[in-house]
């Protein structure tokens, strides 16, 4: 059911630390041609840190854990690559489509592949003024034992609403060297988090304790704030107009998040893109250090 890249298959055989990487960021989150370059750079960051990258996607209906170079190229550049969340997986398999996987679907597949650590940009969550627009990422976190490194939830979302839902689902949220919940493009969303961790070793200890306590059926969210955030005034301005624009164009369902991210990238003339890339790289590095600490 799963096809492993040569690199990931060798890492599994040797018991090396592996980091799962999400592919919707590449196909639907970042503009071409920068998306493919970033995907390759992020994989290299994981290798340089001493772990093995496993970018997850479906190619012609087959689940891939780890992509060969030409496969990564297809996910970045083919127009027919769809965005697959967990509910889409069986359908994409049966119809032999190629798909990038969201946080939810990537976490699910990573767990199937026995990978414990996963890096992304920002989590999905509750949308602002939502009439039931809530990312399936939240449900996946409630059902999948995996450590997910992110820069908080995307600032286009209802941040306090998302934090409340994570509490309801009993998903622990740990600030990495901070008590401020990060706001994706922003270092601080303005909301506090109770627990803070200082090191990958501490995260590994929490992971192992949860197994002992049998509270390990959920994800652990590691919230890693971006260092050089986006200009605050610019962020507020674009967010405001972007939300209005998506409402007036009646953007719905899985198109909402890619629409708003692209709106940010064009309106900010690349400033949000710079921050988004910083976020992904820094999260991949931390995820690699955690994967190593778990061994």
**Under rule CB under 6 A, which residues in 231-260 are in contact with ligand PSU?**
254, 257
Work out the number of other CB atoms within 10 angstroms of the CB of residue 2. 13
Among 38, 103, 109, 220, contact with ligand PSU (rule: CB under 6 A): 103
- Residue of 51, 159, 261, 288 that binds ligand PSU (CB under 6 A): 261
Is residue 55 a contact residue for ligand PSU (CB under 6 A)?
A: no
Nearer to ligand PSU, 57 or 104 (CB): 104
Of 42, 35, 219, 196, the residue nearest 139 (C-alpha): 219
| d(C-alpha 4, C-alpha 56), whole Å | 9
Query: Residue 284 Cβ, how far from ligand PSU at the closest point, in Å?
Result: 12
CB of 12 to Mn ion, least distance (A): 33
Q: Which stretch binds ligand PSU (CB under 6 A): 96-104, 169-177, 203-211, 219-227?
A: 96-104
User: Residue 95, preceding bond cis, omega within 30 degrees?
Assistant: no
Q: State yes or no: is 22 an active-site residue.
A: yes
Residue 22 binding ligand PSU, by CB under 6 A: yes
The catalytically annotated residue of 7, 12, 22, 43 is 22
To the nearest whole angstrom, how small is the minimum distance from the Cβ of residue 2 to ligand PSU? 19
Task: Record the tokens describing residue 75, joined without a space.
Answer: 């996910």
Q: Is 37 a catalytic residue?
A: no
Asked if residue 137 binds ligand PSU (CB under 6 A), the reply is yes
Residue 262 CB, nearest distance to Mn ion (Å)? 15
Residue with the shortest CB distance to ligand PSU: 121
Distances (CA, A) of 248 to 179, 252, 254, 263, 264: 37, 11, 17, 14, 16
Q: Burial level of 143, CB count in 10 A (0-12/13-18/19+)?
A: middle
Q: In the bound complex, what is the minimum distance in angstroms from residue 137's beta carbon to Mn ion?
A: 9
Query: Of 8, 76, 136, 171, which lies in the binding site for ligand PSU, with binding defined by CB under 6 A?
Result: 136
Cβ distance to Mn ion smaller for residue 9 or 251: 251
Q: Judge contact between 121 and 148, C-beta under 8 A.
A: no
Active site members: 22, 154
Residue ranges that bind ligand PSU, judged by CB under 6 A: 22, 24-25, 28-29, 102-104, 120-122, 124, 135-137, 254, 257, 261, 276
């Amino acid at each position: 059911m799963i096809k492993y890249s040569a690199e990931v298959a060798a890492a599994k055989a040797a018991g090396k630390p592996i980091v799962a990487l999400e592919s919707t960021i590449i196909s639907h989150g970042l503009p071409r041609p920068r998306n493919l370059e970033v995907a390759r750079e992020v994989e290299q960051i994981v290798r340089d840190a001493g772990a093995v990258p496993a970018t997850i996607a479906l190619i012609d209906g087959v689940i891939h854990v780890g992509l060969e170079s030409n496969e990564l190229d297809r996910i970045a550049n083919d127009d027919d690559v769809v965005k697959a969340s967990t509910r889409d997986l069986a359908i994409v398999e049966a119809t032999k489509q190629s798909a990038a996987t969201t946080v939810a679907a990537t976490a699910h597949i990573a767990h199937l592949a026995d990978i414990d650590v996963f890096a992304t940009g920002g989590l999905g969550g509750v949308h602002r003024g939502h009439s039931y627009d809530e990312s399936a990422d939240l449900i996946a976190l409630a059902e999948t034992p995996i450590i997910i490194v992110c820069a908080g939830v995307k600032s286009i979302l209802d941040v306090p609403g998302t934090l409340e839902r994570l509490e309801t689902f009993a998903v622990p949220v740990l600030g990495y060297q901070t008590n401020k919940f990060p706001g994706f493009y922003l270092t601080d969303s303005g909301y506090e988090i109770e627990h803070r961790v200082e090191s990958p070793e501490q995260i590994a200890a929490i992971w192992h304790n949860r197994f002992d306590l049998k509270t390990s059926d959920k994800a652990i969210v590691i919230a890693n704030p971006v260092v050089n955030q986006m200009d605050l005034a610019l962020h507020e301005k674009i967010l405001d107009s972007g939300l209005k624009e998506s409402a007036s164009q009646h953007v719905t369902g899985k198109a909402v998040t890619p629409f708003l991210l692209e709106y940010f990238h064009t309106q900010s003339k690349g400033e949000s893109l710079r921050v988004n890339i910083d976020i992904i790289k820094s999260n991949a590095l931390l995820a690699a250090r955690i994967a190593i600490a778990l061994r």
